[in-house]
A and B are shown apart, each in its own frame.
Chain A
Amino acid sequence: MAAKPASTNTTMITNPLILQIIVGVLIGLGAGYVGSFMILRRMSLVGDALSHVALPGIAVALLFEFNPFFGAFAALFLAILGIWVLEKKTELPSETLVGIFFTLSLAFGLLLTPEPELLEALFGDITKIAMFDLYITLILVIAIFITMVKISNSLMMGIISKDLTRSMGIKLDRTNFIFLIMVSIIVALGLKVAGTLLMGSLVIIPAAAAKNISVNLSKYTVLGSIFGALSALVGILVANQYGLQPGPIVVLTGGCIFLVSLLFKK
């Protein structure tokens, strides 16, 4: 996941830690918000395993020398398309197929990814980001929030009852498709933070913590975003302080927030 050297940019944040924090927090916000709906749609497992699919995409991008973000996004998009068709055609839980297909793609990706980049692809490395990453993250996270707010009502109705939602004339397949694209964008973005092995958890854990302590939807989604941002912020700071890998620390911070939320479970 080679980033452009920061020095080529005219406007830039010179302190690398601050840059990491801004990008991390933005991704945490988006991941928490999108994750809130993934949990309600019972996609926790799918979400956790989904990020694995990105690895072969990253590998192909590295082999053919284009931006790994696009390789990852393409791979995630294909996987998401598979889930969407599966959900549309059948009422079957997609878990078995997801469990098989997603782990297989991880195995493929492991074979394809060049050795020097493998560790970074697996666990992410936010210390290697540049101003370009900030721009792309900022634009996409804003786009995710705008889109999610627009579709959240139909999405929520669809969670309560597909029939009821369709009977109201809402095009649920379209809503679901848009939602799944948002999922693939945030996961592809987050690979910088937590890598293909752990990004799924950054989507799921903050939202799971928020669900424990929320009575209504607005509080739930806002808290999910805040917990995502907090995980990124604390994780990056702690990793920086002790010279550790940020990705795992970010996810572990999310885990701690989840444990605390259990104490206040409603």
Chain B
Amino acid sequence: MEPLLRVENLSVKFNEHHVLKDVNFSVNKADVLAIVGPNGAGKSVLFRAILGLVPHYGQVQWAKNIKVNYVPQKLNIDRDIPLSVAEFLKFKTKNYEETAKILRAVGLTDSSHDDFHIKEHVLKQRLGWLSGGQLQRVLIAWAMIDNPDVLLFDEPTSGIDIGGEETIYNLLRKLNKEHSMTIIMISHELNIVYKYANSVLCLNKEMICYGSPNDVLDPQALAKLYGGEAGFYKHDHDH
């Protein structure tokens, strides 16, 4: 089967410094690929490179006619931004039925909630008033609206409490199983990777390991990934 995405010898340089070096991997339909690595390892840069948002070297080849939706790690949504959930979702679809269906699918409302609840308690809310978990669900809903083949998720659960985290991952797994949606996600947590991903890419500027989590996440790889020179990953910012 032709992979949905094939990445060969991908490198990204910022000011002559390698932020990513010689990354190779491929993603097949209905895969869940997790990208792990310390802070500053280039995970977000990898996403931006495969989306063509930053200049890069090497090959990034997407299958023809596929739709890729992306949810970045940081959105600039202040508490006081005057934008309602309804308006945010309307950037993608103006069809109310479709919106309501997707809000149910991501668990923002359940079938016991009527239209009134959806309109008053979800759609009319200011985007910035939602809790971390609710906002993340709205973002997933937003990304799902036009039925993408691939969902790129940068830290799906940053800023969400443990319980909420579990539900977001369960939701992603459900999307993957029921809609054969291919998911590529960046994660900090290894337990999540074991539980939800069928392949993993360990990244620390270069590729440390790649394969099925149970095969490749051995102590040596982890030591190399997280335990190397401290200076390598202590930077707290993502590029």
Where the two chains meet, the residues of A that have a C-beta atom closer than 8 Å to any C-beta of B are 40, 153, 156-157, 159-161, 163-164, 166-167, 210-211, 214-220, 266
Ordered by A's residue number, 12 sampled pairs between the chains whose C-beta atoms are within 8 Å are A40-B82, A160-B76, A160-B83, A161-B72, A161-B74, A167-B70, A215-B125, A216-B87, A216-B124, A217-B82, A217-B83, A217-B87
Q: Is the CB of B48 within 8 A of A40?
A: no
User: Which residues of chain B (199-213) have a CB below 8 Å from chain A?
Assistant: none
With CB as the reference atom, state the residue of chain A lying closest to B127: A160
Q: Is the CB of A219 within 8 A of B82?
A: yes
User: Which residues of chain B (119-178) have a CB below 8 Å from chain A?
Assistant: 124-126
Q: A163-B53, A166-B53, A211-B82 are in contact. Are A216 and B70 (CB under 8 A)?
A: no
Q: A160-B76, A161-B76, A164-B72 are in contact. Are A215 and B124 (CB under 8 A)?
A: yes
A-chain residues with CB within 8 Å of residue B126 when the two chains form the complex? 215-216, 266
Interface of A (DSSP majority class): helix
Report, nearest first, the 4 A-B pairs whose CB atoms are least far apart.
A220-B82, A216-B84, A214-B82, A167-B70
A-chain residues with CB within 8 Å of residue B16 when the two chains form the complex? none
B-chain residues with CB within 8 Å of residue A218 when the two chains form the complex? 87
Point out which of A157, A160, A166 has the most chain B C-beta atoms below 10 A from its C-beta: A160
Q: Is the CB of B83 within 8 A of A163?
A: no
Contacting A163 at CB < 8 Å: which of B69, B72, B81?
Answer: B72
Q: Mark B42-62, 1 if CB is under 8 A from A, else 0.
A: 000000100101000000000
Interface of B (DSSP majority class): loop
Q: Is the CB of A217 within 8 A of B75?
A: no
With CB as the reference atom, state the residue of chain B lying closest to A153: B91
A-chain residues with CB within 8 Å of residue B86 when the two chains form the complex? 216
What is the minimal beta-carbon distance from B62 to any residue of chain A, in angstroms? 12
Cα–Cα distance between A266 and B72 once the two chains are bound (Å): 28
Cα–Cα distance between A163 and B46 once the two chains are bound (Å): 13
A-chain residues with CB within 8 Å of residue B77 when the two chains form the complex? 160
Total count of chain B residues near the partner, CB < 8 A: 24
User: Which residues of chain B (80-95) have a CB below 8 Å from chain A?
Assistant: 80-84, 86-88, 91
B-chain residues with CB within 8 Å of residue A153 when the two chains form the complex? 91
What is the minimal beta-carbon distance from A59 to any residue of chain B, in angstroms? 38
Point out which of B68, B74, B77, B87 has the most chain A C-beta atoms below 10 A from its C-beta: B87
Q: Is the CB of B91 within 8 A of A157?
A: yes
Q: Is the CB of B91 within 8 A of A40?
A: no
Q: Is the CB of B53 within 8 A of A167?
A: yes
B-chain residues with CB within 8 Å of residue A166 when the two chains form the complex? 51, 53
B-chain residues with CB within 8 Å of residue A156 when the two chains form the complex? 83, 91
Interface membership of B105, Cβ < 8 A = no
Q: Is the CB of A167 within 8 A of B51?
A: yes
A-chain residues with CB within 8 Å of residue B4 when the two chains form the complex? none
Contacting B84 at CB < 8 Å: which of A161, A167, A211, A215?
Answer: A215
Contacting B75 at CB < 8 Å: which of A160, A210, A214, A215?
Answer: A160
What is the minimal beta-carbon distance from B147 to any residue of chain A, in angstroms? 15
A-chain residues with CB within 8 Å of residue B83 when the two chains form the complex? 156, 160, 216-217
Interface membership of B71, Cβ < 8 A = yes
Q: Is the CB of A164 within 8 A of B87?
A: no
Extra A-B contacts (4), CB below 8 Å, given A215-B84, A266-B126: A156-B83, A161-B76, A163-B48, A167-B53
Cα–Cα distance between A160 and B128 once the two chains are bound (Å): 11
With CB as the reference atom, state the residue of chain B lying closest to A214: B82
